[in-house]
């Protein structure tokens, strides 16, 4: 359905996208995962025909998107990171306005508004002005607007950033339903690995303008098949503890997490006794040590030595 080949975008001194290749088949839900500044928004702006690439090729169903943007525009829905709504209008009025710009009118427009409002769970709040909505509700209406013309491909740019957990969960559920029940193809960018794990069949991991890994979640996690991830929970953190752990020959990566540290070690490495010994020496009280199933976050840590949200 979508094929992106060797895509580049240079802004004066910054190379935001540096040779991206990716594809998306009909009906797939694909994640584009990477930290802030990785180049995700720039990539999807080019796919959405909002930004001209420096070089590269984008095909949609075989058609040349860069030469003929209309091969993708009518069937594309884009949910931008920034809310793009009229604050003074009600949700219903916003949807009416955007529906009209998509060429809908009369009964068809009314029915579509009702259907989409139901989908985003805001039917009973449709008469309120958007300026009185919570951040999460605004985002839901922002998504609703992008669904008015029944797009075949929906591109979402970090749709859950900065919203309350309930709205977030609602949005994730909705995206899943659009994909699984309605067969909509979805390209979902996020720096929350747990969202991508939950929603996407396949994942591209992006960093510094490049795709550094791609595959199904299982394939990506198998990158770590020769490693274990250990969570060390501590009462208080200590630089000395990290420094000494870092020097341990079997420790490959360390990242700080809320409750302590995440450490990647060679598979089956017997480091437990050493962890407690180093903790003792650095006067760190250990609450617990757990071996964990690897997550996509761990894959990212392994590949880059950094956490996704650094
Ligand atoms: N219009 C622009 N002019 C100059 N530099 C830009 C422009 N847009 C993006 N960049 C730079 O390109 C790089 C990639 O940015 P981009 O927004 O694509 O990343 P991202 O992965 O989407 O991150 P975020 O989650 O923060 O949006 C960054 O270094 C950014 O500062």
The CATH superfamily assigned to 2-221 is: P-loop containing nucleotide triphosphate hydrolases (3.40.50.300)
Cβ < 6 A, ligand 1 pocket: 11, 14, 16, 34, 36-42, 158, 191
Tokens of 206: 């992006």
Q: Say what the pLDDT of residue 84 is.
A: 84
Give 140's contacts (C-beta < 8 A, 6+ positions apart): 120, 121, 122, 167, 170, 171, 174
Q: Whose CA is nearest to atom 24 of ligand 1?
A: 36
Distance of CA 40 from the midpoint of ligand 1 (Å)? 8
> Which pLDDT score, from 0 to 100, does residue 167 have?
82
- Kindly report, as residue ranges, where domains of CATH 3.30.70.100 are found in the chain: 225-304
pLDDT of residue 164: 81
Ligand 1 pocket: which of 42, 204, 205 to mutate (most atoms <8 Å of CB)?
42
Residue 307: its pLDDT value, please?
A: 67
- Rounded to the nearest angstrom, the distance between the alpha carbon of 226 and the centre of ligand 1 is 34
Alpha-carbon distance 204 to 224, whole Å?
16
Look up the pTM and report it.
0.80
- CA 115 / ligand 1 centre spacing (Å): 35
Buried b (16+ CB within 10 A) or exposed e, 148-168: bbebbbbbbbbbbeebeeebb
pLDDT for 131 equals: 92
How confident is residue 45, by pLDDT bands cut at 50, 70 and 90?
Answer: very high
- CA 191 to ligand 1 centroid distance, Å: 14
pLDDT at 236 over 80: yes
What spacing in Å lies between the alpha carbon of 183 and ligand 1's midpoint? 31
The side-by-side arrangement of strands in the sheet containing 55-60 is 14-24, 2-11, 55-60, 63-64
Q: How far is the CA of 119 from the centre of ligand 1 (A)?
A: 31
- Point out the ligand 1 atom lying closest to the alpha carbon of residue 15: 12
Q: Which CATH architecture has domain 225-304?
A: 2-Layer Sandwich (3.30)
Mutate to test the pocket of ligand 1, among 35, 39, 50, 52 (most ligand atoms within 8 A of CB): 39
Instruction: State the CB neighbour count (10 A cutoff) for residue 226.
Output: 10
The boundaries of every CATH 3.40.50.300 domain in the chain are: 2-221
Out of 33, 35, 37, mutate this one to test ligand 1's pocket (max ligand atoms within 8 Å of CB): namely 37
Cα 291 to middle of ligand 1, angstroms: 36
Q: Is the pLDDT of residue 310 over 70?
A: no
User: Could you tell me if 148 and 112 are in contact, meaning their C-beta atoms sit under 8 angstroms apart?
Assistant: yes
Judged against a pLDDT cut of 90, whether residue 273 lies above it is answered with no
ipTM above 0.85, yes or no: yes
Residue nearest to atom 8 of ligand 1 (CA): 42
Residues 120-144, mean pLDDT to the nearest whole number? 89
Most ligand 1 atoms within 8 A of CB, residue of 38, 157, 205, 306 to mutate: 38
What's the rounded mean pLDDT across residues 171-186? 90
Alpha-carbon 200 to chain mean position: 9
Query: Within 13 A of 60's CA, how many CA atoms are on the CB side?
Result: 19
Tell how far the Cα of 122 is from the centroid of ligand 1, in angstroms. Answer: 32
Helix 106-120 and helix 165-180: axis angle, to 10°?
A: 120
pLDDT classification of 25: cutoffs 50, 70, 90: very high
55-60/29-33 β-pairing: unpaired
């Amino acid at each position: 359905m979508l094929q992106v080949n060797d895509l580049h975008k240079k802004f004066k001194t910054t190379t935001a996208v540096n040779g991206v290749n990716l594809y998306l088949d009909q009906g797939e839900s694909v994640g584009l995962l990477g930290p802030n500044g990785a180049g995700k928004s720039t990539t999807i702006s080019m796919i959405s025909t909002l930004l001209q690439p420096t070089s590269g090729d984008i095909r949609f169903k075989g058609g040349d998107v860069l030469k003929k943007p209309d091969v993708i525009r009518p069937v594309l829905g884009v949910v931008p990171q920034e809310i793009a709504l009229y604050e003074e209008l009600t949700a219903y009025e916003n949807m009416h306005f955007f529906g009209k710009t998509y060429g809908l009118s009369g009964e068809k427009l009314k029915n579509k508004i009702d259907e989409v409002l139901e989908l985003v769970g805001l039917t009973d709040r449709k008469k309120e002005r958007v300026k009185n909505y919570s951040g999460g509700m605004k985002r839901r209406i922002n998504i609703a607007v992008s669904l008015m013309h029944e797009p075949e491909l929906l591109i979402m740019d970090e749709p859950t950033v900065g919203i309350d957990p309930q709205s977030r969960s609602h949005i994730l559920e909705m995206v899943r339903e659009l994909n699984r029940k309605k067969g909509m193809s979805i390209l979902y960018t996020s720096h929350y690995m747990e969202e991508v794990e939950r929603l996407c069949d396949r994942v591209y991991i992006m960093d510094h303008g490049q795709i550094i890994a791609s595959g199904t979640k299982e394939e990506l996690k198998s990158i770590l098949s020769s490693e274990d991830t250990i969570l060390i929970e501590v009462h208080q953190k200590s630089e000395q503890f990290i420094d000494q752990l870092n020097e341990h020959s079997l420790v490959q990566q360390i990242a700080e997490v809320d409750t302590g540290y995440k450490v990647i070690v060679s598979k089956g490495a017997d480091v437990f006794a050493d962890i407690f010994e180093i903790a003792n020496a650095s006067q760190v009280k250990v609450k617990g040590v757990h071996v964990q199933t690897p997550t996509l976050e761990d894959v990212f840590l392994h590949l880059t030595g950094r956490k996704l949200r650094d």
